[in-house]
Chains A and B, each alone.
Chain A
C-alpha cells in the first residue's frame, strides 16, 4: 500500500543535542508537510515543501529546519532541542497545493528530551 512512513517512531535525545527525524512517501505527492503536536493539542504546521519550494510558517522557531533531497524523502532537523520541543512530530503529504485535497499523515515520531 502506498503510504507515508516516519522513522523512528520514538526518538530520545539530550537537551541541546541535534536530532533529525525522517519521513518518506510512496504516494509520489508533490507536497510534504511537518507538524508539531503536543499532548492533547491540535497539530501545528511548522513548514511545507511544494516540490523543492520551501514554505516556512511565520511562527516556526529558527531552531527547526527541513530538507527535501528528493520527492520521496523529507527531513526535520532540530538544531538545539529544548524541553519545550518534546512532542509528536507528524509528516503529511498531499498531491498538489490545492485546498480541497486531504492530507495523508504518517504515524508520527514521538520525541523526548532528556
Chain B
C-alpha cells in the first residue's frame, strides 16, 4: 500500500521569500507523483507531476518539485512567494504498477503569505 506524508499543516512565509512544502511517500515501487493546489471554495488544480524522465519538474505559477528516490521525497518549491500563492497544497501519488489511476492524497498544507 502507498501513503503520502505532508509534515505540518500550516506554513507561513513573507512575500518574496522561498516557499518549501515537503512531501514524502511510502511505496514499494516509486509511484507517479503530483502536486495540486486548492484555492478557497474551489476544486483542485494540477500544479505539476512527475511520471518519468527529468527529476526536476517545473509547473505552473513558478512552482517546481524534485523527485528524489533515495529520500522518497517530492518537495515543492517556489523561489519567491506571492500573495496569490496563499492556498491549500496537496501532494498525491498513484501506483506505477497496474492500470489504476486512483490518487492517494496527503493531508494537505495551508500556505499563508504575509505582506
Residues of A within 8 A of B (CB): 4, 6, 9, 31, 40-43, 45, 48, 90, 92, 94, 96-108, 110
Contact = CB atoms under 8 A, between A and B. Distances in A.
Interface of B: 9, 31-32, 34, 36, 41-46, 49, 51-52, 90, 94-96, 98-103, 105-108, 110
Contacts of B52: 100
B103 A110 contact: no
B44 A97 contact: no
Contacts of B36: 105
Contacts of A106: 43
A98 B99 contact: yes
A110 B52 CA distance: 36
Contacts of A98: 99, 101
A107 B45 CA distance: 9
A97 B103 contact: no
Contacts of A92: 43-44
A42 B105 contact: yes
Given A45-B102, A110-B41, 12 more contacts: A4-B43, A6-B43, A40-B108, A43-B105, A45-B103, A99-B98, A99-B99, A102-B46, A103-B101, A105-B36, A105-B44, A107-B43
Given A105-B44, A107-B41, A107-B43, A97 B99 contact: yes
Contacts of A9: 41
Given A45-B102, A106-B43, A99 B96 contact: yes
Contacts of B110: 40
B61 to A, nearest CB: 16
Nearest to A108: B43
Contacts of B31: 99
A99 B32 contact: yes
A28 B31 CA distance: 26
